[in-house]
Amino acid sequence: MARERDILDASVTALGDRVASMSPGELGASAYPAGWSVADVCSHLGSSAEIFTNSIDVALGGAELPPQPIWDAWNAKEPEEQAADFRRADRALVDRLDALTADERENFAFKMGPLDLDFTTFVRLRINEHTLHRWDIEVARDPQAALSADAVPLILEQVPMIAGWAARPRATANRAEYSVRTTAPDARFVCTIAPNEVHLVATEASAEPADIVLPAEALIRLVYGRLDVAHTPPFEGDGAILDEICAMFPGL
């Protein structure tokens, strides 16, 4: 668990410092998600930090608060207020996680949709969200930005699960099966596309050539709908295959 805690803490610190250095104009600039400013992403991360913090109390036996008033309150803030309050809420969540006792972590149980989350998985979900939205902000300044390298191996382990949420299969799709290999770190997956079905499954290491070879951080961004022409690093394989896979993951 120390690994997860340190990765989240590092991301919170790095993004907090980055946002603190931004001018009002930079906060109002476009972030990666269509129609979102950098301040909008801060607001989203800040409101979700509050919801995650509330969810800790729920997991420990407290009453759940509905998210809508939290979203409304954050949406009503001015951009500079969203940025400042995001930094406070983001750090407060890490502090709340750190304050849990060993017994509370051991008995932690939170239900999110069909998932029953233990403490480590709960923290990993926040790392996923934080890492991707950190990229949404950083890419506004640096078109060559990549996902934080220390978080990539951890998130890659969860890619098949994320793909199950993120995929948008099409009734008109032709059946196809593509092998995908990642670098940094090295891993193998099979992406199966069929009418009304999309599956991404981790497989054993193999010496067989893959249809697509790309950095692991790029595969993660693909599954989250963040791999477009302008933000695709060098890769090996048929671009048409990569485009077909990307079309199945429009974004989270």
For the chain, the domains span 2-143, 153-247
Comparison of pLDDT for 148 and 59, the residue scoring more: 148
Instruction: Please give the single-letter amino acid code of residue 195.
Output: P
Quick one: which H or E segment has residue 98? Answer: helix 79-99
pLDDT at 188: 98
- Beta-strand relationship, 212-215 and 236-237: antiparallel
The 3-state secondary structure of 187-245, one letter per residue: EEEEEEEECCEEEEEEECCCCCCCCEEEEHHHHHHHHCCCCCHHHCCCCEECHHHHHHH
Report the pLDDT averaged over residues 223-228: 97
CB of 82 within 8 A of CB of 46?
yes
Q: 6-10, 58-62, 76-80, 149-153: lowest mean pLDDT where?
A: 58-62
Report the pLDDT averaged over residues 113-126: 91
Residue 179 to residue 33: CA distance in whole angstroms: 28
Taking the alpha carbons at both ends of the chain, their separation in whole angstroms is: 26
Q: Does domain 153-247 have CATH number 3.30.1050.10?
A: yes
Cis peptide before 233 (omega within 30 of 0): no
- List, in order, residues 6 or more apart from 43 with CB less than 8 Å away: 74, 75, 77, 82, 86
pLDDT at 89: 98
pLDDT above 90 as % of the chain? 88
CB of 160 within 8 A of CB of 189?
yes
- Confidence bin at 183 (pLDDT 50/70/90): very high
Hey, what are 26's tokens? 């930079």
- Confidence bin at 206 (pLDDT 50/70/90): confident
Hey, what are 47's tokens? 């409101």
Hey, what are 205's tokens? 């290491």
pLDDT at 193: 97
- CATH no. of 2-143: 1.20.120.450
Report the pLDDT averaged over residues 172-200: 97
- Confidence bin at 1 (pLDDT 50/70/90): low
pTM of the model: 0.94
pLDDT, tens only, 2-41: 799 999 999 999 999 999 999 999 999 999 999 999 999 9
- List, in order, residues 6 or more apart from 41 with CB less than 8 Å away: 31, 33, 133, 136, 137
pLDDT at 63: 66
CB of 220 within 8 A of CB of 180?
no
pLDDT, tens only, 29-73: 999 999 999 999 999 999 999 999 999 988 888 766 677 899 999
